[in-house]
Structure 1
C-alpha cells in the first residue's frame, strides 16, 4: 500500500469487532445477477447489490459501519470511486476494513493499490460557520469499467470530556437513499447501547398512492435495535417535488427539560466575572455614550468586528461556552463565546437579552424533529427593546445601524436559553422601511437619452451593497449596472451582441451617502445613450423600463409538494419616469395599465401618471415576510405574482411617429384594435 505514515485520523484494520467479519465467499455469494439486477443494468442504471449500514451509539462513542457492493458501469461513477474524500471531525477515526473488486468472478484486494492523504478541510459556510476538520483523500489505482466495487468501513467518534452533550444525548437522522441507485438488498440498523431510551420518528414516509403518512414514533431501550430492510429497492420519492423519507433518532426527552439542562450551564458562565473587572476600557467607551440606542449599536458592532470568529462547527454542541473575560482578552471565540460576551455587555447597559439556539440550514425540519439540543448548530442573541424583538448574529461582520435599522435574519424556529422553555416559532415580519427605494429618470431629446438611477438601500441590502462596493472594482460595478439596464430597457431585443459599453456612454456610478446609523446606502448611476429607443421589426419605436427584480420568479415557478413556500422577500419601492420630445400613445393598454393586489402575504400597487410626452409609474411592494405559505393558499399567491409579471413591473411608452400618414396609420390602428 502506497501511503503516508498512518495517523490517528484513519486506520486499516481487518474488521470492526462490534459489526463482525464477513468472509470473502459470503460476499461473492451476495453478488448475484438476479432478474431485477439485470433489468437495472440493462437500463443503464448503476446497481448496488447490497448496502448494509449500521449505526451504534453508546454513552462513550458513536460508530457508523457500512458494507456495500456496487457496479462501476458508468465512467463518471468509476471516476468517483477512484478518488474518494471522507471528512472526519476532531477525535473521529475512519477505519478501512475492506476495499475489493469482483472482476470476472475473481475477488481482488485493492488495499495494496490505494494511496491515502490526510488534508486539512476548512471552509467558511454561508451561515457564518467555520468548519475545521480533516479530509481523508483515498485514491485507488486500476479500477476498471464493469468492476464491482466492495467497500467496508466504519467511522468511530469517541467522546472526550468536552463532548458532554454527546455523552448525555444522542441525535442521528437517517435519510432514505438517493433514488438514482437500485438496490438488490438495502438494510439499515440502529443499535442503542446507551443507558437512556432512544425515541425514533419516521417522517415523510408515503403510502402506495404517494400520500404522506402521519409521523410514527417508537422507542428503543438499551440493547434494542431498529432495522429497516428492503429487497429489490428503488426509492420512489420524486426528488424535485417531495422530501426524502427520513427517520430521526434522539434521546427521549422534551424541550422544557432540555432548556432546564442547558440554561444553568450558560448562567454559570454569565456570572463568572463582572464586566468592569476585565473590560474597563470597553466600559469607559460605553459610559461615554449617552443615548441607549447608540450604546446598543456600539455593543453589537464591537463584538461583531473586534472579536475574531474562530470555531469548529462539528464541536458546536461539544463543549461549554467560553467565559466572556477570556473572549474579551483573547479577542476571539466561537458563536457561543461571541454571543455570551454580547449578552453580558447588554446586561451591563440594562438591555433585556437572551441567548437562543438555532439551525438556519435545517430550520424547516426542526418542527418535525424530536426534541434535541443537538439539532442546533448556531447561537445568536435575542434582544427585547421598545416592545420589539430583534435577533443579532454576533458572528457577522460589517453590519451597521441602530437596532431597528439593522439587517433582518430569516428563520423560524429557536430555543431560548432560559428555564422552562418550549421550542418557539418566530413571528412573521413587516419591514418598517423600504429595503430598496429607487428612482429612474430617462429623458430623451432628439436621438440622445440621459439616464439617471438614484437608489437608496437599507437593512440587509445596505450591508450587502456596502460590501459589494468595497470589494469590487469600479469598472466591474459599472458593467454590472450596464448589463442590468441592457435588459431593463429591452435593448436585448434589438441590439443583442452589441458591446454594452458602446451603448451606455460615459457610464458612471457613485456613492452619494452612507449613513451607518440609519443603515442607508445611497448611490447614483448616470449614462448617456445614443439611439435610446427600442425598435421592433416593424420599425415602431418604444421607450421601455421593466425591472425584472420586481417579478418574483421563485414564487411563480415553485412546484414542491411537501415544502411550503418560504416567504422572505424585501419591501421595495420604485419610481420610473420616461420622457421624450416625441408624442406618445397616452391610451395604449400597457402604458395606462395600473394594478392593485392585496392578499394576506403582500400588497402590490402600480400607479401611473401620463402626459403627452411621457409617463411615470410608482410601484410599491409590501410583503409580510419570514413565514411559510400554506399550500391551500399558495395558488392564489402564485396567481397574484403572475399579475405582477403581466407588464406591471415597469413602464413602456409607444412613440407616435411625426407626419400625416403616420398619424392616420396610428388612428386607424387604434380604431380597429
Structure 2
C-alpha cells in the first residue's frame, strides 16, 4: 500500500471485540454457488453472497460495521468498487479491516494494492457551509470483471464535549436494502451498550400480500441487541410507489422530556446580555421607527440580510446556540445563532416569538419516527402577531414585506423550544392574497397580433421573481416568456421547429413596480405576432390562450401507495381577453364552457364573456394548502384537477371564414354537434 503513515481519519486494524471474527477459511466457505445465486447471475444482476451489518452504540461512541462479499460481473459495479469516497466527521475514523478478492477460488489480499488519500470535504464552503469533515478516497488497483470483492470495515465516532447531544441521545434509522441486490445471507444487528434504554419502531414492513403492517415498538436495554437474519433474501418493496421498510432507533424519551431538556439551553443564552447592552446602534434604529408593523419588518430584514449565514456542521450537531451578542458582533452565525438573535430583537420590540426545531427534508417521516431531538436539522422562529401565526427562517435572504406578506414556509411538524411541549402540527392555510394575478390581452387585427401581459406576483412568488429578474440576463428572461407563450398560444402544434424569436417580434419585458412592504412585484410583457392564429390541419383558424401552469399535473399524475400528496399551491387569478376583427363562432362548446369546482381542498371557477368578435375568461383558484391529502379523498381531488384540464384553464375562439362555402361548412359542423 502506498500510504505507510495512517491518517487520524482512517486506520487499518482488526475489528472491535463486539464485531465478529472471520478467518479466511470461513470467508471462502461463505462464498458458495447455489441455485439462488445462479438465478440472479443468469438474470444479469450482480449477487451479494453475504452482508453482515452491525450498528453499535455506547455512551462514548457510535460505530457501524460491515462485512460484505459481492460479484463484480457488471462494469458499473466494478468501476464503483475500484474507487470510492468515505466522508468522516470530526473525531470519526474509518477503520479498514479487510480488502480481498476471491479470484478463481484463490483469496487475494488487496490492501497492498490499495491507495488511500485523505482530502478536505469543503466543496460548499463558498456558500457559508463550514465543516471539518474529511473525505477518505480509496482506490483499489487491478480489480477485474468476475472477481468477488470482500470488504470489511467500520466507521467509529468518538464523542467529544461538543457532542453532548449525541452522548445523551441516540438516533439511528435503519433502512432495508436496495431492491437491486439479492443476498445469499443478510444480517443486520443493532447493539445497545448505553446505560439508557433504546426504543425501536418498525415501520412500513409488509405481510406476504404486500399490506403494510401496523408499526411495532420494542425496547433494548443495555447489552441487548436486535437482529435481522435472512437467507436467499431480496427486498421486494415497490421502489416507485412504496416507502422502503425502516426501523427507527432512538433513546426512549417523549416530546415533553425532550423539550424540557433543550429549553434551558436556549433560556440560558437568551439571558446572557440585553440587546441595549450589545447592540445600542440597532436599538437606536428600532426606537426611531414609530410604526410597529414596519419595526417588525426591519427587525426581520436586519437579521436575515445583515448577519451572514454560516452553516457550521460541527456546531449544528452540538445544538447549543451561539450567544446573540457574539452573533451581532461577528455579523455571522448558523441557523440557531440567527434565530436566537432574531428572538432577542423581537423580545425587545415586544413581539411574541419563540425558536422552533424543524426538519424540512424529512418532514413527512417525522410522524412515523420516535421522539428525538436528533430528528431535527434546522431552527426557525415562530412569531405570534396581531392574531396571526407566522414562521420566519432567519437564514433566508432577499425576502421582503410586512409580516403578513412575506414568503410562506411549507412544513408540517415542529417542536417549540419551551418547557412541557409536545410535537406540534402546523395548521393548514389559505392565502389571503393571490400569489399571481395576471391579465393577458391578445388582439388580432389585419392578421397582426398585439399581446400584452401584466403579471403581479406576491409573497413567495414576488421574492422569487425579484431574484430572477435581478440575476438573469434580460434576453434570457424574454426567451423564457416567449417559450411559455409558444405553448400557451398553441403555436407548438402548427409551427413547431420555428425560431421562437421570429414569432414574437419586438418582444419586451419590464418591471412595472416593486412594492417592498406589500411584497408585490409587477412586470409587463409586450410582443407583436404576425399570423397570430393557430391553424389546424383542415386550415381552420383559432385564437387561443391556455396557460398550462393552471393545470397541476403533479396532482393529476401522482401515484404512490404510502406517501400522501402534499398540497402546496398558490392562490392564482387570471384574466384573459381575446379579440379579433374576424367573425367568430359564439356558440362553440369550449368557447362558452364554464366551470365551478368546490371540494375541501380547493375552489376553482372559470367565468366567460363572449362577444361577436372575442371572448374573455376569468380563472380563480384558491387552495387550502400546507396539508397532506388523505388517501380516501385523493381520487376526488385528482378528478377535480382533471376537470380543470378539460379546457377550463383558458379560452379559445373559432374564426368563421368569409365566403359561401365556409359558411356552409360552418353550418354543417354545427348540425353534427
| 1:285 aligned residue | 285
CA contact (8 A) 1:123 1:132 kept: no
- 1:14-57 CA-to-partner distances (Å, cap 9, x unmatched) read 43343143211111110111111111111112211111000010
The corresponding residue for 1:552 is 552
Partner-residue secondary structure (3-state), 1:2: coil
Equivalent residue number for residue 494 of structure 2: 494
Q: Distance in 2 between matches of 1:337 and 1:460?
A: 24
The question of whether the paired residues in 2 share the 8 Å contact of 1:114 and 1:141 is answered with yes
2:47 corresponds to: 47
Change (3 A) 1:488 1:129: farther
Aligned to 1:561: 561
Give the 3-state SS of the residue equivalent to 2:562 in structure 1.
coil
Q: Does the CA contact (< 8 Å) of 1:132 and 1:311 recur in 2?
A: no
Q: Deviations over 1:54-95 (max 9, x none)?
A: 001011110010110111111111111112121222221111
Distance 1:314 1:541, change over 3 A: farther
Does the residue aligned with 1:316 lie in a helix, a strand or coil?
helix
Q: Can you list the C-alpha shifts for 1:607-644, whole angstroms capped at 9, x where unaligned?
A: 10111111111001100000011100000000000000
1:375 aligns with 2:359: no
- Per the alignment, residue 454 of structure 2 pairs with 454
Give how far 1:383 is off: 0.2
Report the CA distance between 1:130 and its aligned residue.
6.5
CA contact 2:128–2:310 (8 Å) conserved in 1: no
Deviation at 1:425, TM superposition (A): 0.5
Distance 1:314 1:567, change over 3 A: farther
User: CA, structure 1 residues 376+319, in 2 after alignment: closer, same or farther (shift >3 Å)?
Assistant: closer
1:307 Cα deviation from its structure 2 partner: 1.0
For the pair 1:656 / 2:656, whether they are aligned, the reply is yes
Displacement of 1:314 after TM fit? 5.9
Cα distance in 2 between the residues matched to 1:580 and 1:463: 36
Q: Return the alpha-carbon distance in structure 2 between the equivalents of residues 249 and 543 of structure 1.
A: 61
Does 1:587 find its partner at 2:576?
no
SS of equivalent residue, structure 1 residue 641 = helix
Q: Measured at CA, do residues 555 and 132 of structure 1 come closer, stay the same or move farther in structure 2, by a change above 3 Å?
A: farther
SS at match of 1:404: helix
CA distance in 1, matches of 2:637, 2:647: 17
Offset at residue 4 of structure 1 (A): 8.4
Tell whether 2:622 aligns with 1:645: no
Query: How far apart are residue 283 of structure 1 and its match?
Result: 0.5
Q: In 1, distance between residues paired with 2:353 and 2:201?
A: 34
- Equivalent residue, structure 2, for 1:231: 231
CA contact (8 A) 1:599 1:637 kept: yes
Matches within 5 A, 1:258-407: 258-313=258-313, 315-407=315-407
The answer to whether the 8 A contact 1:533-1:542 is kept is yes
Distance 1:532 1:122 in 2: 53
Q: Distance in 2 between matches of 1:140 and 1:97?
A: 15
Matched position secondary structure for 1:81: helix
1:212 is displaced (CA, Å) by: 0.7
Measure, in 1, the Cα distance between the counterparts of 2:215 and 2:672: 62
Q: Which residue of 2 aligns with 1:519?
A: 519
Aligned to 1:117: 117
User: What SS does the corresponding residue of 1:38 show, helix, strand or coil?
Assistant: helix
Q: Tell me if the contact between 2:15 and 2:154 (Cα under 8 Å) persists in the aligned partners.
A: no
CA distance in 1, matches of 2:572, 2:313: 35
> SS of the counterpart of 1:463?
helix
- Corresponding position of 2:76: 76
State the alpha-carbon separation in 1 of the partners of residues 491 and 505 from structure 2: 14
Structure 2 equivalent of residue 530 of structure 1: 530
8 Å contact kept, 2:452–2:525: yes
Cα distance between partner residues in 1 of 2:514 and 2:4: 54
1:35 to 1:468, Cα distance in 2 relative to 1, 3 A: same
How far 1:124 moved relative to its partner? 5.8
Residue matched to 2:443:
443
Q: Deviation at 1:600?
A: 0.2
2-side partners of 1:645 and 1:131: how far apart? 48
Q: Distance in 2 between matches of 1:513 and 1:119?
A: 49
1:292, distance to aligned residue in structure 2 (A): 0.8
1:310–1:463 CA distance, 2 compared to 1 (3 A)? same
Partners of 1:16 and 1:97 within 8 A in 2: no
CA change 1:564–1:434 in 2 (3 A) is: same
Deviation at 1:229, TM superposition (A): 1.2
SS at match of 2:151: strand
Q: What CA deviation, in whole Å up to 9, does each residue of 1:229-278 have, x standing for no partner?
A: 11101001011111111000000010001101101110000000011101
1:367-396: per-residue Cα shift (whole Å, max 9, x none)?
111111001000000000011110000011
Question: Structure 2 vs 1, CA of residues 123 and 380 (structure 1 numbering), >3 Å: closer, same or farther?
Answer: farther
Q: Distance in 2 between matches of 1:554 and 1:299?
A: 37
TM-superposed CA distance for 1:316, in Å, is 2.3
CA distance in 2, matches of 1:69, 1:244: 23
Relative to structure 2, which stretch is displaced further, 172-181 or 90-99?
90-99
**Match of residue 92 from structure 1:** 92
TM-superposed deviation, 1:309:
1.0
CA drift at 1:217? 0.6
The 8 Å contact of residues 16 and 154 in structure 1, kept in 2 or not, is answered as no
Calculate the TM-score normalised by the size of structure 2.
Answer: 0.98
Structure 1 partner of 2:418: 418
Deviation digits for residues 104-163 of structure 1 (CA, Å, limit 9, x no counterpart): 1111122222222223334669x9977663222222221111111111111111111011
Cα distance, 1:660 vs structure 2: 2.1
1:267 and 1:192 mapped to 2: Cα distance?
32
Q: Is the 8 A contact 2:444 2:579 kept in 1?
A: yes
What secondary structure does 1:647 align onto?
coil
TM-score (norm 1): 0.98
Q: In 1, Cα distance between the equivalents of 2:337 and 2:616?
A: 52
Q: How does 1:175-214 map to 2 (within 5 A)?
A: 175-214=175-214
